[in-house]
Structures are given as structure tokens and as C-alpha cells.
Structure 1
């Protein structure tokens, strides 16, 4: 019939779902269901109709809508997110329903009243990239709406989206004069976010230097158990933007914000820093440092200690004098390390072997100058560990390479016994040797050195030794310290829930993880096992196919069981059972 004829057309596709829906349903199923239906009937559906949208599907916590106009789709999305801010004003944070919305403009297939194709798939992937209460759009949507509405766009760079052949440039939407998102609750202890220091030098190549100053201050502050310090990834999200620091405090859930600038020229460096009470906007402290470059490390120590003194009046004197990470004595070695750190970040987003080799090259240059630089050995261990875990080159699953990663982590500890990240890297690797006691000891040592050191590597150690509940707590703390967390944190939460046989929670977190990193084979493998345990065999097989697409050599015994070392035999049997049910090769 004509109504069922396959057609193609250009449309704006709007996808929305509820952030943290599984968690909300787990805590209060009936209440969440009732509140969601009320939001849908009182806000979403009326706004969709008002702006000329055609509701394609509304199932569970999500909706799919088609608009003839990109501008209308964007107006509808902004109206919904503004409306939800108002509706959540008097709702406790743990009960708030917040939507994530993705909008794409592209070619779609229409059939039988439904819509399909890359135009729809891209919108769904954009929605998965959103923070709660946010809107993410494609470049086409930005081009068609940027001068027509009172909104601003933040370029989030190109993303390789699942099942989409080409990278997609993603933009996050700011609502102009929209009211701020509901504030995160302040922690019980003093809390601080360190924004990326502005590079005031004419040389754009010095950008990494300004970033390094900020990152070292974050690291210095993070060792104080009496401080709650926001992770670099979240605080650097505001880099290059003129922002209201009170809004930053609300969005990150901190009372204090540190901002500053760095100007480097010849053999001198000038650092300015100011501490602001984000609740009131009052400046609590400001200082300018103008000294020879050789004194820059003393300057960094002084900045961190001064901020700590303001925020923590009763910090132990001995702890105040300690430094978690002391940069090497030679400035050139630190330069090379920071270049390596920039290349390492690039690799983790691109998974290109050239970036991994560039990281190693800069680390080799740094160690040639300062052979005792512990942070270099830790990062070098990470580069070999990731090559051992993933089919990047001939290091994949090589026993020699795993031994090398362990040796490098031990070398880092030998040069700096107070480096938590070195213990995390060591434990993350020796767990593959079934040395469960030593791995647990390394994790506990990292936490003893710095209770704020929440890291996905520690989470894997704890679920591997049979403590998935603690693994979840650590990974969720990492997500709290870093609201814009990398995919590893939800991945570890998902795996831990799988081991607890909490499959619906596992599916939620694993889906979020692979939405952020669609080319990570192990995320797809665990999601395949989870779907199989839920009886969703079609979805399980689809995820198994993704694993084999990314790694045709994958097998349960030859790949997964080499990297997923579990202390309890029943945990391994449970994992293998799910992978086999999903159809992955033995």
C-alpha cells in the first residue's frame, strides 16, 4: 500500500531519553514511572506538538521525533530543557529526572510510519554523548540554527560514533539566558575546581605548558584528604570560554574555583592565580608570580599550599609539606613529559598507533635527560599495557610486553614511592599474573597515599578479587569527581554489576561506556554477555559481531580469559557463560 512505501527525505531528527533511568527505577520504580509520565504529558508532548514535531516512538524512557525544520527541533529541545530546570527546582537531586537530547539533520528512510537510517542513528549517538540536561547536535544543525536562536555552541571535536562510517563533529548547546541547571550538592568537605590556566604567550605551542601548570596544581591539591578536588577532565571543559564562575561552581558542585594565566618568555615565567568563592563570587585570594623559569616548581608548590591553607585550616603540617608529585629537576625533561601527556590524551581518543609511538618518543626524550622521572615510567608502562590489551601491533597479548609494563611500574615506584598512579598501574597489570594479594596491596597503597585518587584501574582490581561493590563505589567516585568522565569509569561500573548479576544496571552502564568509546572491544564483549543473560539474544549477537569486527582474532579463551583474570572460579564461569550464550567463539 502507499502508506507502507519506502521513501527518503531530509528531516531533523530529535532523540531524547532519561539520564540514569535504571538507577532511578531501581531506587523508586513506581515513583519514577509516575514522574516520567507526568513530564511527558505536561511538557514533552505539548512542546513537540507546539513546534510541529511528529512523534515517531515513545517507549520507556525515550522518545524519537521528526521535525520538518531544524530550527523548530532546536526550539523544542531548548524549551524542554528549560522547562525541566523549573520542574526540578524543588526535587531532591537523587530523584530528579533529567533528559539528554540529540539532534541531527540528515537523510532518513520512512516506512510504515517509522524512520530509519544514518540520520536517525547519528541523533541517537549524539544523545548518548550529552550530559544530563544537555543538548548535543551535529555540525549541520549548528550551521542551520546558530544565527536564528538565542543559543551558543561549544565545539566538542570529532567523534567516531558507533556504526557511523565517518567521524561526526559534535557541538554542545548553551541556552543563552536560560536559567542554570540545578546545582550539584556541595560535598561535606571543602571543594575546589582548578580551571585550565590561560596561555598568554604568543606562541600557541606553549598551550601544553599552561595546561601542565594547571594539571600539576590539581595533582598537588588532590593528595589532601580534607579536600574534594574536581578532576582535570571536567574542569578543563571550560577551557577557552568566558564563563560565570558561579555557574561553574553550580555545575561542578564545588565551593571554590581557581583560575589563572601563564605567560612564558625566554627564561622567565609569570603565573597569575585567583581563588573565587563560587557561591558568592567573592575573591578570596590572588597572587602573581614573576620569576626565572628554574624556580617554577617552587612557585607551583607555593600556589597549591596557599590554596590548601585557605580551604583546610587543620591540615596536618607534615602532610602540608609533602608533595605527591615532584617534577624533575631539569626543566627540559618536564617539557618532554608534558608533550608526551598531550600525545597520550590524543591516542586515547583516536586509538591511532602513531600517537602511541609519539607518546613513547617524548617519554624517551624526557628519561634521557632525567632517568629518575617516575611519572614518565608510569606513563610508559601504560603505553605497553594498552598495546598488550588491544590488537594495535605485535605487542598484543605478548607475555614479554606484560612483564615490561610491570617492570616499568615498579621502576616508577622505586624512584617515587609516593606516586599513587604508579601503584594503580602496577596492580592493574599484576592482576593478570594472578597475584591477587600483591594487586590488592598496590591498590590499597594508592588509596592510603591519596584517598581522593579514584581511578578505574583500582575498580578493576577490586572486582577481579571478588569485591564488585567496592569497585562500583570507586568508579562512581571517579565519575563524581569528574562529571564529564571518560568511558572507563562507567565500563567498570557495568562490569561490576554484571558480576553481581544485576544485569539491567550492567546494561545501562555498559551502553553508556561504548557510546563514549565505540571502538573498545571489551565494552562490546561485556555488553554481549549482559544481553545474553537478559535473554536479549538478538542484541547479544549484534554486540558479539561488534567484538569480532574490531578484533577478528578474538576468542573467549585466547583473548578474554587472558585479560579478565578473576580470583573466584564462579565469577569466571559466570563471565564465560554469558560470552558463550552471546555466540562469541570459544
Structure 2
């Protein structure tokens, strides 16, 4: 899952790690510069148009062409002259730019293999949809997600999170390589075909160390039996891995398949961006109307409302109150679902109901110790409570369960590293391509400022304020769920050094 690296002159660019090195010494280059350099070196010798480059560095964002000119000028200054005295990046008037140097593709950097857990470990790969209808694709994705959730709730299993296994969707893969990437012994793969009133599922369990098939079966059932089929597949896997069948924990299953499909589609939209999350809001609201006793849509509606993704102006007090009520409703409908529990715990912490939040986090990780998002969210709240070492332990555990996680994991890790005073590590984390940049720049700026790299810190502050023009330290300190005064002052100190507005 690592990207290619590009070597030119004394430099090595690693887009996956978000680093540029000159003679093996790190070079301080900004996020946009890295993205532009990756685009240019990846197609060295070709002319890349301005629009294409702007899309590479500012995806999905409308920016002035002058921003590109500034970034190219900064890159030229940073790289210096090429061996022949010319420039690495040539301007093609009225068209774009071209990388002129010779580039060697080094292949991916070696990824250190993850150690196998002591207990049986498994990754469920995205089931292949055998139909051409996009709804069939959503159905296969939903089946995969539910199998991951079901297996994760089984005591004695180590289960990789959805975000990491879906990184392989649509790819030709070798299960042995996946086993090494994710640090698991077993891989489940399969396919699903949905026809009017029927569903056909093929599933096979593979030993990732040897490539041998341990178990395979076909299920051909009425569509109404889909959740019974999921339970049966899960039980078969548990039998194969643990040597015996176990009674599966009860889940709050949907009673309406359209509501189920809407939830699957909405979850994908929420993964994409806050803008598409507004589309998800309509789907989730429809799902609730179709199946008011189904817990899942309430959970995601709660997150949508809390994050302010429903309105372009951000969350209101009414949104926050409604979100908490929706999260409580989800837990009431499915008290054994760890996902519903950690969402409620997170919102309770921001509501400053700390004792209740701590109890809900503990219950979530007790119900499902494989729920990576719960550990990541718990890390965020623990750090703000002054429990920094505990917070770092939580986020490390989340990364092990979810080696290719959502971008907010990196934000949580960078925040924890800053709180621990490990500013160099925080800078490395927060400059990774995978990090959600809109929010994390404030932590990056504070880390750079604490290291005395004030010019870089100011640059990050400027970029942060473009996306957060109303940010003030005072308002941020009043709204974040801090429980430890010393930790709060540590963050404020870094913010002030970086130049964030009071």
C-alpha cells in the first residue's frame, strides 16, 4: 500500500510518507509543495497544465492561479539549481510546468511488517459485487462491513477495521501480501450477487501465511434472509478459527432492506467530505422514517449534526442538543453496539458530562475491543484530560487495528505527540498526506513554533485561517473538553508562539 519514491539529483521524494530528503537529510517542504513535486516527478518530462497541478495540490478547492505560482517559486528556491545549472522545474508559457530532471523510480519504501497478535487475527476484504447496478455494489459493501462488525464482537478474535480493508477495494491482490501489510494470519474474501428476491454469497477463508484455503461455502437464499446468512458466515469463520461454534451476540438488525441500503450509501458519503455528508443526512433521515427501530442511522445522524455538516455555517447549539439526543436514541435501540456507545461517549465529553462519557467509552471498548474508532476517539478525550500516556496508548492501539485509517487518526496522534512534548514526531505525523489538514494545521503550527521554526509555523497559521477564518484561541479553549489546566496551557502556549489569533 506504499507509493513509489522518486530520486532525482541528491533528492529522494517519498509521497506516501510525505517526506523529501537531500543526501538523506530531511528537507522542510510544505504540504502543497510536496503534492506538486509528486505530480511533477511522477510524470517527469511531460507538460502538466496549471489546472491539473492545482487539482493535485488543492483537490476540490477553488484557488487563485497565483497560489500555484507562489508554490512553484518556493519549490525552485528549495531545490536550488540542477547539476547543469538550470532549473528542475521549467515554465511552459500560458500552459503549465514541466519537471526537467532525470527521475529514477525506486519503488516503495520497505514497510516494517506488523507482528501477529497473540490471538487469531483476520481481515475481511471487500466482497466483490457480481452485479452491474451501483446498488448491488453498496449491498456488497454493506455485507462486508457487517461481517467485520459481527466478527469484531467475538471474544478471542483480532479483527482489522473497515477503513484498512477497504483500501484494497477494486485491486488485484495477493492475500499473503495483505496478511503482511495488515499483520493478520487469516483473510476472508468473497463475492455477492443480488437478484430480485434472492441473494447469492460465496465466501472463503484463507490462511495468509501459506495461501491455503481453510473453508469455503456458497449461500443461496431469499433476500429477506440476508442477516441470517451473515450470522451463519460469521459462525462458520469462528468455528474455523477458534475450533467451535459460538452463540453470536445479538445485534439490532434492520427490518427494512431499503433503510439498510440507505445507511450503507450514507456511510460512504460521510467518508468523502462534509459536503457529501449533507447528502447523507437526507438518506439517513429517510432510513429512520422507513425503520424507526434501526439504531445505525441515528448514530450517523448524531455525528452529522454534531460536526455541523448539515449546515454550511457549522454546528449550532440546537445541532449539538439534537446530536446528543440522537446518540442516546441509538444506544437505547442497540445497547450492545460499540459504535453507538463511543459516539455517545464522544459527544458527552464535549458536553462536559465527563463521568458518563468515561463510562460509555469503557463500555464501548469492553463490548468490542476491536472497535478502532472507539480507541482513537478515546485517545482524543484522554489527552485533553491530561492523561497523555494513556491517550498515546489508545491511539497506537487504534492504528494497529486500523493500519490504513481515516485522516482524523493522524490528527489525534499528532495532538497526543504535541501534548507529550514530542514536537518532531508531531510535525512528522501532521505533515503526512493522510492527515486531515483543515483542522490539524493548528497543531502543526504549534509544534513548529515550539521547535523555534517560526517562519514555517506562521505559514501554517495563514493556511489554517483560510479554512477557519473565525478561529480564536479563547473560543477554542472554551469549547474543547479540557479537564487538565496544565495541558490546556501547553496548547495555548504553542498557539500563541505560532501567531494564532487570541
TM-score bucket of the superposed structures, by smaller chain: 0.7 to 0.9
**Residue 258 of structure 1 contacts residue 273 of structure 1 at CA under 8 Å; is this kept in 2?**
yes
1:48-68 alpha-carbon deviations (Å, 9 max, x no partner): xxxxxxx9933634699xxxx
- 1:540 counterpart residue number: 457
- 2:284 counterpart residue number: 363
Cα distance, 1:481–1:117 mapped onto 2, change above 3 Å: closer
**Residue 252 of structure 2 contacts residue 295 of structure 2 at CA under 8 Å; is this kept in 1?**
no
C-alpha RMSD of matched pairs (Å): 3.5
User: Are positions 1:277 and 2:207 aligned together?
Assistant: yes
Instruction: Decide which of 224, 232, 248 is 1:321's aligned counterpart.
Output: 248
1:102-142 alpha-carbon deviations (Å, 9 max, x no partner): xxxxxxxxxxxxxx997x6435567xxxxxxxxx975x469
1:245-276 alpha-carbon deviations (Å, 9 max, x no partner): 22221222111111100011111000010001
After superposition, residues 250-265 of structure 1 pair within 5 angstroms as 250-265=180-195
2: CA distance, partners of 1:117 / 1:387? 26
- 2:83 counterpart residue number: none
**Residue 379 of structure 2 contacts residue 412 of structure 2 at CA under 8 Å; is this kept in 1?**
yes
- 2:265 counterpart residue number: 339
1: CA distance, partners of 2:243 / 2:299? 33
User: Are positions 1:499 and 2:423 aligned together?
Assistant: no
Cα distance, 1:163–1:62 mapped onto 2, change above 3 Å: farther
1: CA distance, partners of 2:292 / 2:45? 49
- 1:401 counterpart residue number: 319
User: Are positions 1:441 and 2:368 aligned together?
Assistant: no
Unaligned 5+ segments in structure 2 are: 1-6, 48-54, 69-103
Figure out how many residues of one structure are paired with residues of the other and give that number.
448
Cα distance, 1:478–1:579 mapped onto 2, change above 3 Å: same
**Residue 419 of structure 1 contacts residue 446 of structure 1 at CA under 8 Å; is this kept in 2?**
yes
2: CA distance, partners of 1:269 / 1:523? 44
**Residue 21 of structure 2 contacts residue 27 of structure 2 at CA under 8 Å; is this kept in 1?**
no
Cα distance, 1:499–1:242 mapped onto 2, change above 3 Å: closer
- 2:397 counterpart residue number: 477
CA shift for structure 1 position 369: 1.1
- 2:23 counterpart residue number: 58
- 2:13 counterpart residue number: 16
2: CA distance, partners of 1:371 / 1:174? 54
- 2:498 counterpart residue number: 582
1: CA distance, partners of 2:45 / 2:382? 43
Cα distance, 1:452–1:548 mapped onto 2, change above 3 Å: same
TM-score (norm 2): 0.80
1: CA distance, partners of 2:302 / 2:57? 27
Cα distance, 1:312–1:562 mapped onto 2, change above 3 Å: farther
Instruction: Decide which of 202, 223, 236 is 2:153's aligned counterpart.
Output: 223
Cα distance, 1:366–1:565 mapped onto 2, change above 3 Å: same
TM-score (norm 1): 0.69
**Residue 36 of structure 2 contacts residue 56 of structure 2 at CA under 8 Å; is this kept in 1?**
no
After superposition, residues 423-572 of structure 1 pair within 5 angstroms as 423-455=341-373, 456-512=376-432, 515-517=433-435, 519-520=437-438, 522-558=439-475, 560-572=476-488
- 1:415 counterpart residue number: 333
**Residue 258 of structure 1 contacts residue 274 of structure 1 at CA under 8 Å; is this kept in 2?**
yes
Instruction: Decide which of 116, 123, 126 is 1:196's aligned counterpart.
Output: 126
2: CA distance, partners of 1:393 / 1:179? 40
SS at match of 1:516: coil
2: CA distance, partners of 1:289 / 1:56? 53
SS at match of 2:202: strand
- 1:206 counterpart residue number: 136
1: CA distance, partners of 2:400 / 2:156? 16
Cα distance, 1:535–1:175 mapped onto 2, change above 3 Å: closer
2: CA distance, partners of 1:21 / 1:526? 17
**Residue 182 of structure 1 contacts residue 250 of structure 1 at CA under 8 Å; is this kept in 2?**
no
2: CA distance, partners of 1:458 / 1:162? 31
2: CA distance, partners of 1:452 / 1:56? 37
Unaligned 5+ segments in structure 1 are: 1-10, 23-54, 65-115, 127-135, 145-156, 168-172
2: CA distance, partners of 1:305 / 1:344? 30
